[in-house]
Structure 1
Amino acid sequence: MRKLLGTAHVYMIVGVASGLYYRELTKTKHFTGESQLGVVHTHLLTLGMMFFLIVLALEKLFSLTSSPLFTWFFWIYNVGLVITVGMMALHGTLTVLGHDAGGAIAGIAGVGHILLTAGLVLLFITIGKRLPPDARPRSEPAPDPVVDPVPESR
């Protein structure tokens, strides 16, 4: 659980720092246009800090870290997020500085998105395996309240 809290904390620090970087770089360069740099901090705070705080709560409820798939999720998702926001930051910085970003940055960012998706799939599989089984056996249908009314007690 400490690892999840630490991960959320790191993303909070980097997210806030990236917002400061965006503000100061655009102010220094007198840049008033649109760039991907403006949403890097939002991505880090949402997909990093908030996401891992939610996973921390899910860990408390379902002991997700006891599944071997959890380690795969953790590292694949983090690598995907770092690649994605790294390419966003690079692309945005190049835009602010007046340079063309090129297609390679978009391609690498696409790899980051693919890894994020794979990490999310692994997380959902992990959660599904850790959910408690249904209380009612699958062969026994649920009672229909219209057909099988509850008997009144006197």
Structure 2
Amino acid sequence: MKKLFYSAFAYMVIGVLSGLFYREFTKGKDFHGFTQLSVVHTHLLTLGFIVLLIVLILEKLFTLSKSRLFNWFFWTYNVGLVLTAAIMVWHGILQVDGVTEVSGAIPGIAGLGHILLSVGMVLLFMALRTRLFGTAVKHDDGTPATIAR
């Protein structure tokens, strides 16, 4: 539970700081127009701070961390979010600096980050399902059995 709390707090701080960076960096470079930097703030606050606060509530209600899938969710989701936000910052800085031709690696890495976020969400729902409904298993003779949460 503590890692969810501190992670949500960290994303809140980093999200606010990314908004400050966007404002000051674009103002300092006298940049007017769209840049990826403008959406890093909302990505970190929504996908980091708010989502992890919701997961913290679910943890308190259903003890999600008892599911073997929870750690897989936590680390996959966080790696995906950090990767996504980092590449958005990098791409945004390039945009503000006037770089028009960027490597194809930038959208590829951003896509990988989004895939990891999606996999993390699926793992979260699978962990939540096991805590809500138990895990279906079969006896040695093949008849269904259920392990209660």
- In the superposition, the TM-score normalised over structure 1's length comes to 0.84
Structure 1 residue 102 displacement after superposition: 2.5
Alpha-carbon RMSD across the aligned residues, in angstroms, is 1.0
C-alpha distance in 2 between matches for 1:41 and 1:102: 23
* In structure 2, C-alpha distance between the alignment counterparts of 1:55 and 1:132, rounded to whole Å: 18
In the alignment, which residue of structure 2 is the partner of 1:147?
Answer: none
Report the secondary structure of 1:131's partner residue: helix
Unaligned runs of 5+ in 2: 135-149
Counterpart of 1:124?
A: 125
Letter in 2 for 1:43: H
> What are the superposed Cα offsets for residues 20-50 of structure 1, whole Å, 9 maximum, x if unpaired?
1000000001101101110101000000000
Deviations 1:107-144 (A, max 9, x none): 000000111111000000000110157xxxxxxxxxxx
Larger Rg: 1
- SS of the counterpart of 1:115? helix
Q: Which runs of 5+ in 1 are unaligned?
A: 134-154
Inter-partner Cα distance in structure 2 for 1:62 and 1:77: 19
Q: Which residue of structure 2 lines up, in the alignment, with residue 28 of structure 1? A: 28
Equivalents in 1 of 2:52, 2:5: separation in Å?
A: 7
Aligned to 1:111: 112
Q: State how 1:1-154 maps to structure 2 within 5 Å.
A: 1-100=1-100, 101-132=102-133
By percentage of residues, which structure has more strand? 2
Percent identity over paired residues: 60
Aligned length: 133
> Could you tell me how far apart the structure 1 residues matched to 2:98 and 2:45 are?
27
